[in-house]
Structure 1
């Protein structure tokens, strides 16, 4: 029965996105919701100027509708489902505001970093309050071991760091056609397997819904992209995958399964520290995917390579949790 539910879930979310996109993309184009490309980015990206953005709205709609329909058919939506949707929609709304300011108000930097951080922290604190009242564990375990650390009330700080950190990490990774769509689908697919393994079926349904939505979006987001997800999609996906890991009590395992996002973020941190301390850059450009573009790799080669690395990380994460 569950296998059928998961199959119907991924098919439904895929079809909702695929059928919605041909209607939504021209609508975004008519509203002139086109992406502005930063001048300091790779020059090859300038031709992408004007490509419709805010495509993350399609992903969010697909995930929300599919999750509610399929959890409603299988079981009553649980607190886990509502927490997942709350964080996903909350971070998605933050991303939407950021995109709206960039695209409609023509302020290329969008929300200020302080405004975005404040919104992310508020959403994280609300999440923690409900999380704590629902008697979820505040211990953090380590993959492949019996080790765990009970954080108690300090878990709120960890939770804020995880949600903010991974939402921004996915946002940083979203710089090439299909990069986040592919790596995100792989990472959520891994967590869907792990959720199923511990009988957290609602979390598995949500994760599979995200996989289907991302694969459907990839039809239009693969190079050359007809639409970008924007911060609407990337911030929502980052918050969602961190929430999935938190609910499954696999927080640290997210570092492995989401290894591509972690590496991309570290490349930015290393670049900034190196330049501020020595005046020299470690990479030709950060995040790391831009470095490989400037080395001479085609955009498609970079994306497929990162997908492959993401798949290896996902298999490693499942192996550590299930077989060790």
Structure 2
């Protein structure tokens, strides 16, 4: 059983590694002229951000790896979590590289990105089902159910066996989480702040449930995001880009899958999915009725155009995530 002090030490180490890496990598990104191109259809207030270095997610990924691998607590689960994080980070890096270096503004085509994401998600799902020591290979934990929950004649088990649907379900959850995290990365400090709170939540869940290496990994993600806020908070010196947002989404998804708490993601990651849902609603509404539900999507832009300062939107979304994680804790324990 890992002690909570070790999680705190890991967060602090991850924080300082990121703080050290930032001044080394950000000037390098500036020299490469990998500046962010702000979309014309975005809020006009964001025009001043044009040219800010992007692909800063490299800092986060390196920090997570160094912190995790120097912890002395390494097993297959940790390697898989690191692989998933890196794989999604590479997909994001390719997308960023095409956009900011090759100057093709759309980056990877949607189907190309989706195929690559599905491949990584399938690998994660297969690994989870292939663990011979795991007695619940194709079962998922249902939050807020303690033992066998009954409503009249209806009996709801604590674990639901999905059978052959398990792998498709996990793939859907992983891809949805990763892309939702990507959509959340639209304001200074938003994605990094929301993700560090969620990662801290999973760190304590892992500690509670005896997933020692995953507790270390989650703490490394927390520390890396916390340190990245030094450079990414308003006004941002660097953006994480798809390199960072896809990697962080992959990290959160892998933690949930490996600990078999995938159904807690829509709760603790409520901001992720509110952002994603706002885009889906906006698209369908406009195509069906020609009218927009939100002033702009994703959701954070709606609040900006409603008169909220960027920093207020970010702070409120952070606070919301803290509350959602507290609810999520009640759902598991």
- Same fold, TM-score > 0.5, yes or no: yes
Whether the 8 Å contact between 2:191 and 2:245 is mirrored in structure 1 is yes
Whether the 8 Å contact between 2:182 and 2:249 is mirrored in structure 1 is yes
Tell me how far apart the structure 2 counterparts of residues 125 and 311 of structure 1 sit (CA, whole Å). Answer: 30
Aligned to 1:261: 272
Aligned to 2:177: 166
Aligned residues: 318
Secondary structure of the 2:52 match is coil
Secondary structure of the 1:227 match is coil
Pick from 298, 319, 324 the counterpart of residue 313 of structure 1. 324
Q: Quote how far apart the aligned CAs of 1:3 are.
A: 2.8
Structure 1 unaligned runs (5+)?
A: none
Tell me how far apart the structure 2 counterparts of residues 206 and 212 of structure 1 sit (CA, whole Å). Answer: 10
Pick from 129, 132, 138 the counterpart of residue 132 of structure 1. 129
Tell me how far apart the structure 1 counterparts of residues 15 and 232 of structure 2 sit (CA, whole Å). Answer: 14
Aligned to 1:143: 143
Tell me how far apart the structure 1 counterparts of residues 257 and 313 of structure 2 sit (CA, whole Å). Answer: 30
Structure 2 unaligned runs (5+)?
A: 148-156
Tell me how far apart the structure 1 counterparts of residues 52 and 3 of structure 2 sit (CA, whole Å). Answer: 39
Question: What value does the CA root-mean-square deviation take over the aligned residues?
Answer: 1.1
Structure 1 position 300 matched with structure 2 position 287: no
Tell me how far apart the structure 2 counterparts of residues 187 and 172 of structure 1 sit (CA, whole Å). Answer: 16
Pick from 99, 102, 105 the counterpart of residue 102 of structure 1. 99
Secondary structure of the 2:33 match is coil
Structure 1 position 201 matched with structure 2 position 212: yes
Structure 1 position 120 matched with structure 2 position 78: no
Aligned to 1:239: 250
Whether the 8 Å contact between 2:124 and 2:254 is mirrored in structure 1 is no
Tell me how far apart the structure 1 counterparts of residues 247 and 131 of structure 2 sit (CA, whole Å). Answer: 23
Q: TM-score, normalised by structure 1?
A: 0.96
Alpha-carbon displacement from aligned partner over 1:249-296 (angstroms, at most 9, x marks no partner) = 111111101011011111111111111111100000000000011111
Q: Quote how far apart the aligned CAs of 1:102 are.
A: 0.5
Tell me how far apart the structure 2 counterparts of residues 134 and 79 of structure 1 sit (CA, whole Å). Answer: 10
Aligned to 1:153: 164
Tell me how far apart the structure 1 counterparts of residues 183 and 57 of structure 2 sit (CA, whole Å). Answer: 15
Structure 1 position 17 matched with structure 2 position 18: yes
Whether the 8 Å contact between 2:92 and 2:247 is mirrored in structure 1 is yes
Pick from 209, 218, 225 the counterpart of residue 229 of structure 2. 218
Q: Quote how far apart the aligned CAs of 1:236 are.
A: 0.8
Tell me how far apart the structure 2 counterparts of residues 54 and 247 of structure 1 sit (CA, whole Å). Answer: 27
Q: Quote how far apart the aligned CAs of 1:242 are.
A: 1.0
Tell me how far apart the structure 1 counterparts of residues 267 and 315 of structure 2 sit (CA, whole Å). Answer: 19
Alpha-carbon displacement from aligned partner over 1:143-198 (angstroms, at most 9, x marks no partner) = 01143221123211011101110000000010000001110011111111111111
Aligned to 2:297: 286
Tell me how far apart the structure 2 counterparts of residues 153 and 54 of structure 1 sit (CA, whole Å). Answer: 38
Secondary structure of the 1:107 match is coil
Pick from 79, 82, 89 the counterpart of residue 82 of structure 1. 79
Q: Quote how far apart the aligned CAs of 1:132 are.
A: 2.2
Tell me how far apart the structure 1 counterparts of residues 59 and 15 of structure 2 sit (CA, whole Å). Answer: 11
Tell me how far apart the structure 2 counterparts of residues 193 and 123 of structure 1 sit (CA, whole Å). Answer: 26
Q: Quote how far apart the aligned CAs of 1:141 are.
A: 2.0
Tell me how far apart the structure 1 counterparts of residues 310 and 322 of structure 2 sit (CA, whole Å). Answer: 18
Tell me how far apart the structure 1 counterparts of residues 217 and 268 of structure 2 sit (CA, whole Å). Answer: 17
Aligned to 2:69: 68
Q: Quote how far apart the aligned CAs of 1:140 are.
A: 1.4
Whether the 8 Å contact between 2:57 and 2:240 is mirrored in structure 1 is yes
Pick from 226, 229, 239 the counterpart of residue 228 of structure 1. 239
